[in-house]
């Protein structure tokens, strides 16, 4: 396996659209990096540039100690798994997995060893004679992964490989991919728009927005300390609540949604009276019927989900979502006391949307 590095990678199209703006990334040997972001943010373009399926406008791509920026895909020693599986329908599982090795003139005995060993690892050893049409979606995706694994490449690239699967199978397959990556010790780059996949699978996350990196970090670091309001809203389910905020009382208090004032712990933001902020707080950090309620507020909507219930509460002109235990007896029209620990607030600049560091966060 090998380290993968992107240095100043830029992709601009002839029509003037810039898909990626000077991306710098380093994926350590055996690390699993997940690139996450909304549709159209440049995730798949980034992966295709690593694979050599797109041409760089500027910058370099290095795999191991080789600069592969101008090499053809076949010369880069990478393997790619697509969301469409891309299996040959007229070939059985064995031949699909062996195809790339045969093209490389690998000896027949070595092909057989690699295919059967990989099939056992993926639980496909009883399906080698089957055609793709005889397999479920999850089994086809495992064949696609097997075809990549038998090549023993320097790095694996995954382009939204689970998008075509139903929700239950996606959860199962993301666990299998993570287990397999650990077992093989592979270097992997995985692209997804699904933040749950990103959080559960990645050693490191890269959050992209409009072709630019918003944040790089471990999944929990990104969740707990989002660098921008965009990251805070994109990572986490249910999504972070955002409210208008204004600093008051010499930086010691924060007025939320022009409705309530809360004390800021520690030093707060001294000397910034009147500063307008975006204030984020996650639904799981809001409390109903807790001690030290800040206000009694009306419930507008209740969404039972089984283990948890989402409750929408009116705070001034804003709505906030609260995550409560699924057994909570709350209904629309109720008035409930709302509280939260102020040290769980996330403050962002109103203009730049960048994180504002303060004493308690």
DSSP 208-274: EETTEEEEEE-HHHHHHS-SBHHHHHHSSSSPPEEEEEEEEGGGTEEEETTTEEEEPPTT-STT-TT
**Is 359 among the domain residues?**
no
Of 202, 234, 266, which marks where a domain is finished?
Answer: 234
CATH number at residue 154: 3.40.50.300
- Whether residue 15 is found in the same domain as residue 78: yes
- Whether residue 75 is found in the same domain as residue 44: yes
Q: What is the pLDDT of residue 359?
A: 61
**pLDDT tier at 360, thresholds 50, 70, 90:** very low
Nearest Cα residue to 182 out of 26, 29, 32, 3: 32
- Whether residue 111 is found in the same domain as residue 168: yes
Tell me the mean pLDDT in the region 230-235: 96
Q: How many CB atoms lie within 10 A of CB 210?
A: 15
Tell me the mean pLDDT in the region 266-289: 91
How many folded domains does the chain comprise? Answer: 2
- Whether residue 83 is found in the same domain as residue 221: yes
**Is 175 among the domain residues?**
yes
Of 187, 207, 234, which marks where a domain is finished?
Answer: 234
**Is 358 among the domain residues?**
no
**Is 360 among the domain residues?**
no
Nearest Cα residue to 98 out of 113, 86, 120: 113
Residues near 31 by beta carbon (within 8 Å), at least 6 away in sequence: 187, 188, 203, 204
- Whether residue 217 is found in the same domain as residue 284: no
pLDDT per position as a tens digit, 112-137: 999 999 999 888 999 999 999 999 88
pLDDT per position as a tens digit, 279-321: 999 999 999 876 667 888 999 999 999 999 999 999 988 999 9
Q: Which helix (H) or strand (E) holds 184?
A: helix 167-184
- Whether residue 270 is found in the same domain as residue 180: no
- Whether residue 181 is found in the same domain as residue 156: yes
- Whether residue 256 is found in the same domain as residue 157: no
- Whether residue 204 is found in the same domain as residue 247: no
Mean pLDDT of the chain: 91
pLDDT of 138 strictly over 90: no
Three-class SS of 47-104: HHHHHCCCCCCEEEEEECCEECCCCCHHHCCEEEEECCCCCCCCCCHHHHHHHHHHHC
pLDDT of 73 strictly over 70: yes
Q: What is the pLDDT of residue 211?
A: 96
Taking the C-alpha atoms of 106, 112, 115 and 116 in order, what is their torsion angle to the nearest 10 degrees? -160
**Is 306 among the domain residues?**
yes
Q: What is the pLDDT of residue 361?
A: 40
**Is 356 among the domain residues?**
no
- Whether residue 94 is found in the same domain as residue 124: yes
**Is 279 among the domain residues?**
yes
Nearest Cα residue to 174 out of 152, 199, 149: 199
Identify the sign of the CA torsion 109, 115, 120, 125: negative
- Whether residue 189 is found in the same domain as residue 250: no
CATH number at residue 264: 2.40.50.140
Of 234, 262, 284, which marks where a domain is finished?
Answer: 234
- Residue 294's domain comprises 241-349
- Whether residue 80 is found in the same domain as residue 228: yes
Residues in the chain: 361
Per cent of the chain over pLDDT 70 is 98
**Is 193 among the domain residues?**
yes
């Amino acid at each position: 396996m090998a380290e993968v590095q992107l240095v100043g990678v830029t992709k601009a199209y002839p029509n003037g659209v810039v898909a990626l703006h000077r991306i710098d990334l380093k994926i350590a040997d055996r690390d699993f990096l997940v690139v996450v972001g909304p549709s159209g943010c440049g995730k798949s373009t980034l992966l295709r540039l690593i694979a050599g399926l797109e041409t760089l406008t500027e910058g370099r791509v290095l795999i191991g100690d080789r600069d592969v920026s101008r090499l053809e895909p076949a010369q880069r020693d990478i393997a790619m798994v697509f969301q469409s599986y891309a299996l040959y329908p007229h070939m059985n599982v064995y031949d699909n997995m062996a195809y790339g090795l045969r093209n490389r003139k690998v000896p027949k005995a070595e092909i057989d060893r690699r295919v059967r060993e990989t099939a056992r690892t993926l639980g496909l050893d009883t399906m080698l004679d089957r055609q793709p049409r005889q397999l479920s979606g999850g089994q086809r995706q495992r064949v696609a992964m097997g075809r990549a694994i038998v090549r023993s490449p320097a790095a694996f690239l995954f382009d939204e490989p689970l998008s075509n699967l139903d929700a239950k199978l996606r959860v199962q397959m993301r666990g299998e991919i993570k287990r397999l990556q650990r077992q093989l010790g592979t270097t992997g780059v995985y692209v997804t728009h699904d933040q749950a996949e990103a959080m559960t699978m990645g050693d490191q996350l890269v959050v992209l927005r409009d072709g630019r990196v918003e944040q790089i970090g471990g999944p929990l670091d990104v969740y707990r300390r989002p660098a921008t309001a965009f990251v805070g809203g994109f990572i986490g389910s249910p999504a972070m609540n955002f409210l208008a905020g204004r600093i008051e009382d010499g930086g010691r208090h924060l007025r939320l949604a022009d409705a309530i004032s809360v004390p800021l712990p520690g030093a707060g933001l001294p000397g910034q009276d009147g500063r307008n902020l975006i204030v984020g707080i996650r639904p799981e950090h809001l409390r109903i019927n807790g001690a030290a309620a800040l206000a009694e507020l009306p419930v507008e909507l209740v969404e039972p989900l089984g283990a948890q219930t989402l409750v929408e509460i009116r705070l001034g002109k804003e709505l906030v979502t609260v995550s409560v235990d699924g057994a909570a007896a709350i209904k629309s029209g109720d008035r409930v006391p709302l509280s939260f620990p102020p040290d769980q607030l996330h403050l962002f600049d109103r203009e730049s949307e960048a994180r504002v560091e303060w004493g308690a966060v």
